Amino acid sequence: MVLIRTFLSLATLSGIALAAGKHDYKLTPDPEGQYPRLGACPDKHACIFPPTESQFLAGGYFDLRVELHAYDKNTAHPVPAPYKSFKTLVRKDNGPWEDASRYFHKPTPALENWNFNWTQSLEAKYAKQLELDVKPVTVAVTSRAWRKLHFDKPGTYYVKVEYGPKKSYTARYKVVKPKAPRKKAKNVILFISDGTNTGAITAARALARQHTSGKYHDLLSFEHFDELGHVITNSVDSLLTDSANSAAAYASGHKSSPAALNVYADSSADPLDDPKVETITELIRRRQPGKAIGIVSTAYIQDATPAAFYSHTRQRGVSSEITRQFLHGVPGWTAPVVPDVFLGGGAEYFSGAKALNGTDFYKQITKAGYKSVFNKKDLKKYKDDEKLFGVFRQGNLDVWFERNLYVNNTVGNKANPDNNGTKDALGSDQPGLQDMTIKALEVLKKRGGKKGFFLMSEAASVDKQFHTFDYSRALADLIELDVTVKKTVEWLKANGEYEDTLILVTADHSHSFDVYGSVDSQYMLNAKNENDRISSIGVYENAGFPGYVDEDGDGFPDNWRPNVGLTFGTNNGPAHYEAWQVSTSGPRYPSTTNDHGVVVPNPKDMSGNFEHGLLINNNLPHGQTQGVHSMSDVFLYANGPGSELFKKTQENWELFFKMASALGLDDSHRH
């Protein structure tokens, strides 16, 4: 078979399979519906994970799980007995079918059994609220899981489960040799601006750059990059994604389900037994062990995006276990990533009551050879070449506003990383994204040397502030990313690494944010009724220009509360009031839950002018207390060696293969 050196569409794969000869595989579109029995499981009874159409690098590790589901949709009937046996077969191309255990040279795993409840309809999901006597369907599961498998050579592979006379289901996999770059990269820097869409990029430009006759004096730093592409972000089983499985798609090359980190979500209750897939950082440790790895985030470091580059779990919320995996990995899997640089928040999971089993991970981190820093001053002072660990407060780091403009809002937070609960972590003592990224580069260059480095740096709170419609804070953190990218390019050039470094700037998913005009802020505040408030908004020729200026040239507006500002919003959210005011007393909380459990506008919301702004009605389902993500494609700016691979439109999982190709990690002969 001819070696395939590019990414293949599903249509192309279908044509190859049909031309090759007879097979029992059929490419079936995802079914309609909101409440599937289990994601990426189209057969009525059989599930195979990884699901059909998954792609792998030759030699890349994965787990294989097969499930058989017995159930009766009539919940008045007894639960059927679980399946007692089934066969799992594997073949390459049109070769002979072989028993999976024989094919992978593994012992046959023991059968596992459990039950789960399938919420099969909205009537079942909201039975209590709607006062309906509708129960979920109980599903009896029989399963086997083969661990740490791999395919040696490129080609098309099939996995089939036979579970009765003429009853079977087949999944198809593609093992690829990705398209090679014109020049390989020694280093890769992946910037992720969490939850950022192109509307946010446009708004940040309007805040941070001046213009004359409507023509911008300059663009954002990354808008000067060599290539621009778009990324499709949906989940394996849903139009929408969250930060866990979207970042994990970048990290592993596999789409999964919301809340899943580098695993495919099976039906078991255990969040740690789902079938795993290998990440780019694990692959670096196996195939290029001298290359340094850095993970930087303004979130708590166990949060979805940073965790996607060192952990495996079905539930992103198991933060104490994710902390353990940072040092110790997953038993029976590859060696733990143990990043050379690890910077962010989340101190509470490293010691004290929230640490796994009360473990003092600070001591283990020192034993593992890290030097630890806990504030901005000590981070800047660090000049050594040992592994660097830094956590700077409990929870997420404070946003740019609270670190730079309204530091007093952080007084009394009791979030000091010593976890004693008595000291504050003042915003002024916390480093920003630029501080952490540049320090990470300094350490990674020393530790990676000629073999280079991989760095993931996340502007996490763009997403977190968009969720609560705190648009100015979200855009300030996005502008902080812009400044960080500019300083990164300057550092790379000054240190002789620019020509060898692939830089990517993207988002993991979107919000439905956009600007649709301007607002006269003072007129809005003084308005006496709804008609007056609406009149404060300018559109088309009356939109004019906002009054943001940057006279000191630091990349940020000097005045975040001009008389004329931007009118921005999203297409979804709980009920709240909007007056486009900057909350000076702390991050915004536009909605609250009343005594009856109903989400209502927050009367203390300064940005909504304390219930004297425009009323925005709820358009989300029960239980949603903040805005949700959108399915829009996200931008991808690429610069440096290999950047040509990232132009045009691509799926999120493709970034893994392209980064691996740019770094030369796709060579299956290297371990």
Sequence-separated (6 or more) residues with CB below 8 Å from residue 524: 533, 536, 579, 580, 581, 609, 613
3-state SS track over 94-139: CCCCEEHHHHHCCCCCCCEEEEEEECCCHHHHCHHHHCCCCCCEEE
Element (H, E) at 394: none
The dihedral built from the CA positions of residue 300, 301, 307 and 313, taken in this order, carries a sign that is: negative
Q: Are strands 341-345 and 387-391 parallel, antiparallel or unpaired?
A: parallel
pLDDT along the chain (671 residues), means of 10: 42 42 78 96 97 98 98 97 97 97 98 98 93 97 98 97 95 96 98 98 98 97 98 97 98 98 98 98 97 98 98 98 98 97 98 98 98 98 98 98 98 98 98 98 98 98 98 98 98 98 98 98 94 96 97 97 97 97 97 93 96 96 94 98 98 98 82 49
pTM of the model: 0.95
Write down the pLDDT at residue 20: 40
DSSP label at 82?
P
Q: How many Cβ atoms are within 10 Å of 570's Cβ, its own excluded?
A: 21
Write down the pLDDT at residue 669: 57
DSSP label at 181?
P
DSSP letters spanning 189-230: EEEEETT--HHHHHHHHHHH--EETTEES---GGGGSSEEEE
Q: Give the residue among 583, 538, 582, 591 at the shortest CA–CA distance from 561.
A: 582
DSSP letters spanning 353-369: TTSGGG--HHHHHHHTT
Write down the pLDDT at residue 622: 87
Write down the pLDDT at residue 7: 45
Euclidean distance between CA atoms 437 and 477, whole angstroms: 14
The strand pairing partners of 47, in sequence order, are: 67
Euclidean distance between CA atoms 668 and 287, whole angstroms: 9
Write down the pLDDT at residue 325: 98
Q: Give the residue among 442, 438, 440, 415 at the shortest CA–CA distance from 300.
A: 415
Question: Crossing angle of helices 243-252/654-663, nearest 10°?
Answer: 40
